[in-house]
Chain A
Amino acid sequence: MASEPVPAVRTESLNLWYGTFQALQDVTVRIRSGAITAMIGPSGCGKTTFLRSVNRINERLGYVRTTGRIEVLGHDVQGAGVALTQLRRQVGMVFQRPNPLPLSVRDNVLFGHRVHRTPDAAITRAEEEPILEEALRKVLLWDTVKDRLGARATTLSLEEQQKLCIARLLPLQPRILLMDEPCSALDPRATGAIEELLWDLRGEFTILIVTHNMAQARRASDECIFMLMGRVVEHSPTEEMFVTPRDRRTADYVEGRYG
């Protein structure tokens, strides 16, 4: 155990309440660095809540209360000295519905980069160009949008928009990508394209993906976490979870008898 690398995300007895409703109960998990971990479970089981506590974006809702410990890359993220802006730079997030900003494709990709650089870093447009191209190439979007970088991002197709939403995280050089059902608004072909992309990004980034799609979890993840009513029921390698689930409830869920 001692030689095991630092997990990308580690929680210890994490509890979370929305007002009086407890959405996470005693969640203790280790998310393996460099792998794709899928979070599955019926609606309202706390998957998304868990995801949103990793980059602490839940907190904007004033009535959220947490206890327990969340570590990202070995560091506590709830401490007083933690700069949220830096945490979120390291931990990118992709949302359920593609939400490109109502700006041009170019400005979308460079937004995060611009937000984080010092005001005196006089970066010219020419210097931004390679950053832009690299990010778009990595999400396999460069060839489709290179001639319309000035177009409004909202005019792209949904698949392109979702890829753009991934691309705009890359210039920040995040270590972890949180994906909240990134394909739920997409058709099967686009879903396939995004899954392929995830597989390409695997290794370079730790990916934590919430999905309702069992087939997707099975195809596109290394490990699976099954949650039920705010608790982690099972956390195992994907093949194991689908072939030889340890828990009866997991078996029922992955075989479609429940949820």
Chain B
Amino acid sequence: MFQPTPVDLRNRAREGLVRWLLLGLTLVIILPVLLILGVLAWKGTPALSLEFLFTEPREAMTAGGILPALVGTVWLVAVALLASVPVGVAAAVYLSEYAPDNALTRIINLAIMNLAGVPSIVHALFGVGAFVYFFRFGTSILAASLTLAVMSLPVIIVSTREALQAVPRAFREACWAMGATRWQTIRHVVLPNSVSGILTGVILEVAHTAGETAPIMFTGAAFFVPFLPEGIHDQTMALSLHLFIISTQVPGVPEPVPFAVALVLISLVMSMNAASIWVRTRLRRRKKW
């Protein structure tokens, strides 16, 4: 009774094999993350100091700190989000809650997918043509941020739409059946219950936007600006471009400095992510159905 047959034994062996294989491949994901963080921390920490964070570069960027680049990146990301989040969320709400299934909607969806597939250097050229020259924003934070915003729109739209779709249809029907309008339903029920999902998309884009180099290098980020930006019409330095420049264009930069810049960039992104995740879990605690 209940003795394993040869078939059972074979299935059991295969089960074990598959399980270890899947675990192994999953661990492979962690490896590069640990290596990247480890190398950056190991090589970059010697150059890190408060002075490094809070002073300007000196001696042709071979000494001094990175303050203008740090502040510049914060500006670029903030202005980009200010532009992309309202537009992206509005578009997603329309597509999820209002759009009928017709040719126009399909064209919009196709456009979003294609926009997501455009390489960042092409976005850069678009930004130069559209924002720098056509709208005459010049090379400025505004032009660079708008370029970044266009680039991040598809992700924001798609993730927001997913978040909205995750709100059960039954809630919408309950509202409509009480004579609530579409907008009342969205405003009081759909949006409050999808904020956490929408934030997830935004978080992804914060990281993405902060790290992008190509779209900003012709549109608003500069090689070297010895002062902090005062408004959206200024040019600025940015961490990502600064990293590229001191790694490849400037002779005589001490070895730890690029690693330290990369470490700061990653820490900036990760602390923004951490903050958003904290907000998200707090919001999610309210949500139960």
Contacts and interface: CB of A to CB of B under 8 A. Distances in A.
A154 B288 contact: yes
A8 to B, nearest CB: 17
Interface residues of B, number: 22
B46 interface: no
Given A85-B180, A112-B178, A62 B100 contact: yes
Interface string A205-248: 00000000000000000000000000000000000000000000
A97 B180 CA distance: 20
Interface residues of A, number: 30
Contacts of B178: 88-89, 92, 111-112, 115, 168-169, 172
Interface in A31-63: 55, 57, 60, 62
B102 to A, nearest CB: 8
B173 A88 contact: no
A69 interface: no
B173 A86 contact: no
Interface string B36-53: 000000000000000000
A148 B147 CA distance: 51
Nearest to A63: B101
Contacts of B184: 115
Contacts of A116: 179
A100 B171 CA distance: 7
A99 B173 CA distance: 9
Contacts of B287: 102
B133 interface: no
A101 B173 contact: no
A18 interface: no
Contacts of B177: 55, 57, 88, 92-93, 95
B179 A89 contact: yes
A169 B175 CA distance: 11
Given A102-B189, A152-B288, A154-B289, A86 B179 contact: yes
B181 interface: yes
A103 B111 CA distance: 37
A111 B184 CA distance: 10
A84 interface: yes
Interface of B: 100-101, 168, 170-171, 173-181, 184, 188-189, 192-193, 287-289
Please provide the 4 A-B residue pairs with the shortest distance between their CB atoms, ordered closest to farther. A88-B179, A112-B178, A99-B170, A93-B177
